[in-house]
């Protein structure tokens, strides 16, 4: 198959994951074309934080109230960021589209803009992947990243058929100790056991690529 992989990476962790996926798909005989999503201007982490920090108390509420979380995922104010011209602004010529990026509360700003600008997703099967600082918490990390991505892809006429979320074991805002603690409490495993190079990640990446082959 002819596959387009479009992704944004700020610190290099998502890029590393994209490279692993690309290598495995090529080994299966697929043609993989890369379109790296690049912001027009690289901003400091504090500016990025300032644009959405006011929503954090609401996000905390959404974590505990399922009905409110569903509403929030459909109506929250997604911040976007200008991106450089895409190599493939129309993806209709590809069999499969893969979209990736880091989690920034929900969707990272450049990926959010990509999902507004990209054309040709009608009737496309889409795979989505992402990285985040903590362990693969079902709600806080996985649901709050992939639900809004799936909703936006659906509005463009496509369908997200599989997702892959892997821990970067890194966070720019110095909250990694809390994430390590959460990993111990929820999973009774160290955070590094969910890192890109872990056995957990290798298994999940294989499953992700196998689903594409199917």
Domains annotated on the chain, with CATH: 2-42+79-213 (3.40.50.360)
pTM, entire model: 0.95
Q: Quick one: pLDDT at residue 81? A: 97
Q: Quick one: pLDDT at residue 214? A: 76
pLDDT along the chain (214 residues), means of 10: 97 97 96 98 94 94 94 95 97 97 97 97 97 96 97 97 97 94 97 96 96 83
Q: Quick one: pLDDT at residue 91? A: 98
Q: How far apart are CA 80 and CA 41, in angstroms?
A: 12
What is the DSSP track for 79-141?
----BPPPS-SB-TT-SEEEEEEEEESEE-HHHHHHHHH-B--TT-EEEEEEEESS---IIII
């Amino acid at each position: 198959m002819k596959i387009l992989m479009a992704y944004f990476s700020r610190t290099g962790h998502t890029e590393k994951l994209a490279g692993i996926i690309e290598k495995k798909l090529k080994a299966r005989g697929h043609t993989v074309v890369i379109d790296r999503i690049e912001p027009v201007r690289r901003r400091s982490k504090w500016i990025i934080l300032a644009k959405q920090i006011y929503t954090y108390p609401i996000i905390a509420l959404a974590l505990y109230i399922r009905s409110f979380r569903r509403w929030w995922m459909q109506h929250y104010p997604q911040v976007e960021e200008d991106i450089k011209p895409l190599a493939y602004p129309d993806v209709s010529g590809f069999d499969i589209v893969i979209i990736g990026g880091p989690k920034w509360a929900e969707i990272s700003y450049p990926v959010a803009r990509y999902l507004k600008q990209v054309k040709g997703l009608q009737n496309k099967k889409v795979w989505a992947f992402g990285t985040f600082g903590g362990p693969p918490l079902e709600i806080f990390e996985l649901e709050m990243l992939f639900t809004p991505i799936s909703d936006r892809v659906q509005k463009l006429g496509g369908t997200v058929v599989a997702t892959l979320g892997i821990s970067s074991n890194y966070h720019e805002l110095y909250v990694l100790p809390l994430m390590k603690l959460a990993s111990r409490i929820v999973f009774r495993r160290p955070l590094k056991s969910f890192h890109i190079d872990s056995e957990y990640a290798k298994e999940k990446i294989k499953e992700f690529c196998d689903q594409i082959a199917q």
